[in-house]
Chain A
């Protein structure tokens, strides 16, 4: 029988006990080690080289994100399942980029932890259903691969100038002062340019500007 060897790292004894019980009930999973902090966890994981390391994000010593990065770097091949109370999507992307293969909320762990461990051990990626929608869907909608501009009408030099200054973060008033026209005219240029390119918000204009290299001057300044 090929057990899935698992190391558990969580600073909370109650949680560790719960998880141990849960995993112990699963015949395919064998809990080979556990740690109460990040530092211990790193050494145990690298020493035992389990199939899956289940780690908490918030731990004293080395936290989950750093632990993930270091395990990925120092002991490649070990699949990491992040177990966390953070429903915050902010954590998901960095952790996945750091090398985690799974992201599971603790409140769903009682139900889904064994499934997640198996999925990851099998080489898959597991995302908690509660955050999967957040992590993948971009709610802004506007960011969905819009490739504006090239298809639209050509901009007049003034419109281009106004758009460029908007992308660079100037207020209408500042732009008006800079190119010596009225604020109303700036608004008109902006509206016309945005319509031609199909841009609706400032963020889109910034993105458009960034893709045209308008912002490089600022960063390099």
Chain B
């Protein structure tokens, strides 16, 4: 008995996989610049409210995901303060849309990303940055030519960690944007939905396999890329 590989995944399952990858990629890439900025601020600057900022960044890691999702709904929902503003002025609606899933995934993955990048920034010797400034590089140039290349392995590790977390995000996503096939139904939501209906186990197991493959691939890729970059940066 052979398996028809072209139809191994049903259309609904394919849809969930594609949506998951799209949501996670956007969540990772869109939050990366802010993640680097916040990590830099936490690692290098002293400012009032630093501990509060640190707490807020880490909150999604500790709060039950449902709570984070509900808070997102209260804030970014159509009747929420920010949601209403976005809707009226820009016509942007996040709740029950795939863009909302991006926001939920980004926020849940943010602490992991910031932690990895912050560690990398703390490992950079500020004396190298001082040397660059004596050679004529202004602060933004020092960051681009010295700090950023040196933290690149950490940035990549942080981004891939965030991507993996975003792929697996369930609680906040389903609370904030529900479980609409083709719109907000990511792999975890789809698995959950398949398990609610009789005979859905097979589809669910196929998605489980896909989820494992994506997670493993991301992990191996991050190891590989980070090692290559670290070798380049270490200069041997």
Do the two shown chains form a genuine complex with each other?
no
